[in-house]
Structure 1
């Protein structure tokens, strides 16, 4: 230790300063190494861990309020598809997130029911698209065709959407699903049976003469209605659900105080659980598992809910 001539106080020697500088440099080097390691490991262990593990995740973390809202976080654009410009189905309307900053999105095609037109299921287009999907609500070749035809048309619509449509660059062709009402709901089961690569199927008060679907390997959520007299749950939705493999991710939601035509109008319960199902299985977004598991309990809008929990896909 040396005496400071200006203050009379002691001052550290050069050797001491050297040792301190060395220790300081060591600490700084260690901190830099730790920071580098933290940056490298951040995507694996930090708040963004899930996004890093799942590149298909879209939109902010969901809450009950956000998935029950009439519109989700994405602004939506739409484009009409003329029946004259397509083959295999009757044209329709494509709804899609306006933003391009999140890359591609999963997609779903939706069929109307017997004698019905696209307008009967049009409410689902902007509602689902605003949550981060490309949605194609379609017309069919004839309003009188049967479920097997509806299934083929749903698949033709998806093929058009991913291969020829003006928004094909916004769609991830590996992440697709189908929905449908009544005869179109039966058609969504037919589509899932024909194309196992589909990631999700949601039949809405479905009708089909075929009551057994053990061949379906697509995660399937069936909506029935307790007051349905056209496709009563006892002879349609319930046996459809029961025939699905018990090893499949499957769900059966029976709407309370509802009819066969409840899916034709904006419905929060249908939207909430459809969004959750599509997010969970098309986007593999486990942030939505909370709305499906534990199984939803009976309520003013839910007569009953059956399904497996937790989900494995």
Structure 2
């Protein structure tokens, strides 16, 4: 008993010292792992979080009247109010032919609440071509990153575009014109004369199986096929949907648009799980294609 009582403190002290050393190593290595992607924003994603109408960030908005900047009409900026996590990537969103900003406005709070600064737009003219809409998207990004009231919240090196219908064609046109973009999401895109074979920006195309204005077989699928396989790309066709499904919240539109933008604008590979392997066809998705694994 006496020898045990004298030996125990020494053993315990050794154990405490070993634990302290282990804790010290853990304290050093864990932050390094967490900081391996300085652009990662928000908590770990789940199926529910990426499909939700609202993400984890509280948001605010500011109106941008016509004439505020060059090359675009007017718009609305949505942004996270949190300033503790650093700057955010920025996204511009364009509506389609004969369509007002109100028809794509829901993408503003959706994407801002997931950790982006977002500007939804009215086109300069309701009948503007996809090429013109692509130019307007880039002009809006230029305004966001140089003159807007939220410029200090934006990482100017991490920019993307989203568009619907002719605006979707415009989003792909923006990627052709500015290869430095990190991602585009083209929703039921319409375009004639697009040089998709030269697009190197990661491109997500979301189409629908009931589209008579921009049928998948005439637009989305040829666009996808024409983008080089060396470019990260994906095609999702929504089942029992139509051209105007994209004008209001839809969980699959949210899931794939958010996941694509988080993966490539934020370089956040926590979102790979929602993109690869390519989604299976089911009662919500009629077809899908993707260049997996992502790189």
Displacement of 1:103 in angstroms is 1.2
| SS of residue in 2 equivalent to 1:85 | coil
**2:45 alignment partner in structure 1:** 62
**1:38 alignment partner in structure 2:** 26
Q: Does residue 170 in structure 1 map to residue 158 in structure 2?
A: no
Displacement of 1:205 in angstroms is 0.5
Distance 1:301 1:20 in 2: 65
User: How has the CA–CA distance of structure 1 residues 174 and 10 changed in structure 2, closer, same or farther, with 3 Å as cutoff?
Assistant: closer
190, 197, 205: which is aligned to 1:214?
A: 197
Q: How does 1:97-136 map to 2 (within 5 A)?
A: 97-136=80-119
Displacement of 1:84 in angstroms is 2.2
Deviations 1:141-198 (A, max 9, x none): 1111111111110000001001100001111111110010111111111100111110
Q: How many residues align?
A: 295
* Structure with greater Cα Rg: 1
Distance 2:39 2:136 in 1: 26
Q: How does 1:1-313 map to 2 (within 5 A)?
A: 32-44=20-32, 49=33, 51-312=34-295
Alignment RMSD, CA only? 2.2
Distance 2:177 2:2 in 1: 88
Displacement of 1:40 in angstroms is 2.0
Displacement of 1:37 in angstroms is 3.0
**1:3 alignment partner in structure 2:** none
Q: Is the 8 A contact 1:212 1:239 kept in 2?
A: no
Give 5+ residue unaligned stretches, structure 2: none
Higher-RCO chain (CA-CA 8 Å, sequence separation at least 6): 2
Distance 1:304 1:251 in 2: 11
Deviations 1:221-250 (A, max 9, x none): 011111111111111111000000011110
Distance 1:21 1:237 in 2: 72
Give 5+ residue unaligned stretches, structure 1: 1-8
User: How has the CA–CA distance of structure 1 residues 32 and 243 changed in structure 2, closer, same or farther, with 3 Å as cutoff?
Assistant: same
Displacement of 1:91 in angstroms is 1.4
| SS of residue in 2 equivalent to 1:78 | strand
TM-score under structure 1 normalisation? 0.88
Displacement of 1:26 in angstroms is 7.2
User: How has the CA–CA distance of structure 1 residues 27 and 11 changed in structure 2, closer, same or farther, with 3 Å as cutoff?
Assistant: closer
Distance 1:39 1:73 in 2: 27
Distance 2:81 2:241 in 1: 34
